[in-house]
Amino acid sequence: MSSFKVEVQTDSSGRWYGNAMRYDTEELAKAQADDLAGRWMLVREWRVTPCDDEPNYTMGADGGLVSIALAKRQSTD
Protein backbone atom coordinates (compact mmCIF):
# COMPACT_ATOMS: atom_id res chain seq x y z
CA MET A 1 0.00 0.00 0.00
CA SER A 2 1.32 3.43 -0.82
CA SER A 3 1.20 6.52 1.33
CA PHE A 4 2.09 10.20 1.17
CA LYS A 5 4.94 12.05 2.85
CA VAL A 6 5.60 15.70 3.61
CA GLU A 7 8.91 17.32 2.73
CA VAL A 8 10.04 20.88 3.43
CA GLN A 9 12.83 23.20 2.38
CA THR A 10 14.25 25.27 5.21
CA ASP A 11 17.26 26.89 3.58
CA SER A 12 18.65 27.90 0.18
CA SER A 13 20.46 24.59 -0.44
CA GLY A 14 17.57 23.16 -2.46
CA ARG A 15 17.47 20.04 -0.27
CA TRP A 16 14.14 18.58 0.85
CA TYR A 17 13.75 17.29 4.41
CA GLY A 18 11.15 14.94 5.82
CA ASN A 19 10.43 12.60 8.68
CA ALA A 20 8.96 9.12 9.16
CA MET A 21 5.32 10.23 9.20
CA ARG A 22 3.36 8.64 6.34
CA TYR A 23 -0.25 9.59 5.69
CA ASP A 24 -2.95 7.41 4.19
CA THR A 25 -4.38 10.19 1.98
CA GLU A 26 -2.86 13.00 -0.01
CA GLU A 27 -5.38 15.44 1.45
CA LEU A 28 -4.32 14.62 5.01
CA ALA A 29 -0.65 15.02 4.09
CA LYS A 30 -1.35 18.41 2.51
CA ALA A 31 -3.24 19.57 5.59
CA GLN A 32 -0.35 18.49 7.83
CA ALA A 33 2.21 20.22 5.57
CA ASP A 34 0.21 23.44 5.63
CA ASP A 35 -0.09 23.23 9.43
CA LEU A 36 3.64 22.63 9.78
CA ALA A 37 4.49 25.56 7.52
CA GLY A 38 2.29 27.78 9.66
CA ARG A 39 4.13 26.80 12.85
CA TRP A 40 7.74 26.61 11.63
CA MET A 41 9.25 29.95 10.72
CA LEU A 42 12.02 28.42 8.58
CA VAL A 43 9.82 26.58 6.08
CA ARG A 44 10.39 28.14 2.65
CA GLU A 45 8.53 25.55 0.56
CA TRP A 46 6.67 22.32 1.18
CA ARG A 47 5.52 19.45 -0.96
CA VAL A 48 3.63 16.18 -0.63
CA THR A 49 4.91 13.18 -2.54
CA PRO A 50 3.68 9.60 -2.84
CA CYS A 51 5.89 6.86 -1.44
CA ASP A 52 5.84 3.06 -1.12
CA ASP A 53 5.92 3.03 2.69
CA GLU A 54 2.98 1.79 4.71
CA PRO A 55 0.91 4.68 6.07
CA ASN A 56 1.33 5.21 9.82
CA TYR A 57 -1.04 8.18 10.39
CA THR A 58 -4.68 8.75 9.55
CA MET A 59 -7.59 11.00 10.47
CA GLY A 60 -9.21 10.01 13.76
CA ALA A 61 -12.92 9.91 14.49
CA ASP A 62 -12.64 13.34 16.13
CA GLY A 63 -10.97 14.84 13.04
CA GLY A 64 -7.50 14.87 14.59
CA LEU A 65 -4.36 13.10 13.48
CA VAL A 66 -3.95 9.62 14.97
CA SER A 67 -1.31 6.91 14.76
CA ILE A 68 -2.68 3.92 12.83
CA ALA A 69 -0.92 1.53 15.25
CA LEU A 70 -2.53 3.28 18.24
CA ALA A 71 -5.95 3.23 16.59
CA LYS A 72 -5.64 -0.52 15.96
CA ARG A 73 -4.60 -1.19 19.57
CA GLN A 74 -7.50 0.87 20.91
CA SER A 75 -10.03 -0.92 18.70
CA THR A 76 -9.01 -4.30 20.12
CA ASP A 77 -9.21 -3.22 23.77
Q: Which residue has the higher pLDDT, 76 or 42?
A: 42
pLDDT tens-digit readout, 20-29: 999 999 999 9
Which candidate, 15, 10, 43, 52, places its Cα nearest to that of 32? Answer: 43
SS3 8: strand
| Distance from C-alpha of 52 to C-alpha of 63, rounded to nearest angstrom | 25
Write down the pLDDT at residue 46: 98
Domain-by-domain residue ranges, the chain?
3-76
| Sheet-wide strand order for 17-18 | 17-18, 3-9, 45-51
| Distance from C-alpha of 38 to C-alpha of 67, rounded to nearest angstrom | 22
0.75 exceeded by the pTM?
yes
Mean pLDDT for all residues in the chain: 91
